[in-house]
């Protein structure tokens, strides 16, 4: 298994506010070559689940095995390194760097993980063309449409050829044609041997999935 998540739980507490149990005992596993989707309404805990599974937020309970290594049992620096080398993350809010161009944004993870090389710039260009961004390579995020920014975020997540791709609402802001392009690309990434975990409230993303988990109030409905 490329990714194995067991018994993950997370509650948020804020001041005197009532505790929100965002994720409540979720388990799932994804092998190389598989695309798994989690589908559920706004607020059911999808982003919380994805952040924990991707090594970005410690769970209250449960564990995450990435390539067989228990992520949250590692010292923080080592966990960061694992994540930089093995994880690609498409954030719901993109988090592009405003003063860098599209091409530079896509190359950020390769700098962080020390994998930069001239051939990576070629890979960045290839991603730019395949994701329909050819005419925007030297633009800054502020000059792009939301859908274009979303595709830059996907290219950035793929630049290091991660073993697991985590995607949070990757079609949320796209018209049908561009949603199709993005989903093709993500499904293609799985076909080439990647493991993909995609969360969305858009039930259409399940069409190409190997497994679809339906989520409600922090839990999966089936399995
Ligand atoms: N930092 C936080 N502090 C307090 N509560 C939070 C925090 N982040 C999320 N929540 C709450 O946890 C629950 C799950 O949130 P989450 O963002 O995981 O949902 P989601 O399924 O991704 O929703 P959406 O489809 O709108 O993106 C919600 O009730 C939300 O209000
Ligand atoms: Mg979300």
Per-residue pLDDT of 19-44, as tens digits, reads: 899 999 999 999 999 999 999 999 99
For residue 213, the model assigns a pLDDT of 97
Which atom, in ligand 1's list, is nearest to the CA of 201?
25
**Which protein residues touch ligand 1 with a CB less than 6 Å away?**
12, 14, 20, 22, 42-48, 92, 201
Per-residue pLDDT of 58-85, as tens digits, reads: 999 999 999 999 999 999 999 999 998 8
Per-residue pLDDT of 146-162, as tens digits, reads: 889 999 999 999 999 99
For residue 56, the model assigns a pLDDT of 94
223 has a pLDDT exceeding 70:
no
Q: How far apart are the CA of 91 and the centre of ligand 1, in A?
A: 14
For residue 93, the model assigns a pLDDT of 87
Q: How far apart are the CA of 73 and the centre of ligand 1, in A?
A: 25
Per-residue pLDDT of 14-25, as tens digits, reads: 777 788 999 999
Q: How far apart are the CA of 124 and the centre of ligand 2, in A?
A: 27
CATH number, domain 3-220, options 3.30.70.360, 3.40.50.300, 3.30.70.580, 3.40.190.10: 3.40.50.300
* Ligand 1 atom 25: residue of nearest CA: 42
Buried b (16+ CB within 10 A) or exposed e, 60-89: eebbbbbbeeebeebeeeebeebbbbbbbb
Per-residue pLDDT of 122-142, as tens digits, reads: 999 999 999 999 999 999 999
Most confident of 124-128, 181-185, 205-209: 124-128
Q: Where are the domains of the chain?
A: 3-220
214 has a pLDDT exceeding 70:
yes
């Amino acid at each position: 298994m490329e990714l194995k998540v067991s018994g993950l739980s997370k509650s948020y507490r804020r001041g005197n506010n009532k505790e929100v149990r965002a994720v409540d005992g979720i388990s799932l596993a994804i092998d190389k070559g598989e695309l798994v989707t989690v589908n559920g309404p706004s607020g059911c805990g999808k982003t919380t689940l994805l952040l924990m599974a991707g090594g970005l937020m410690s769970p209250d309970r449960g564990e995450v095995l990435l390539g067989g290594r228990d992520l949250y049992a590692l010292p923080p620096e080592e966990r960061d390194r694992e994540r930089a080398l093995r994880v690609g993350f498409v954030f719901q809010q993109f988090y592009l760097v405003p003063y860098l161009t599209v091409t530079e944004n896509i190359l950020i993870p390769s700098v962080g993980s020390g994998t930069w090389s001239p051939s990576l710039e070629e890979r960045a260009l290839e991603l730019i063309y395949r994701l329909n961004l050819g005419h925007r390579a030297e633009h800054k995020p502020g000059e792009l449409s939301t859908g274009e920014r979303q595709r830059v975020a996907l290219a950035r997540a793929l630049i290091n050829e991660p073993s697991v791709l985590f995607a949070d609402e990757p079609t949320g802001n796209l018209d049908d044609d561009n949603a199709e392009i993005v989903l093709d690309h993500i499904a293609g990434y799985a076909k080439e041997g990647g493991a993909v975990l995609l969360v969305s409230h858009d039930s259409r993303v399940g069409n190409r999935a190997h497994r679809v988990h339906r989520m409600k109030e922090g839990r999966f409905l089936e399995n």
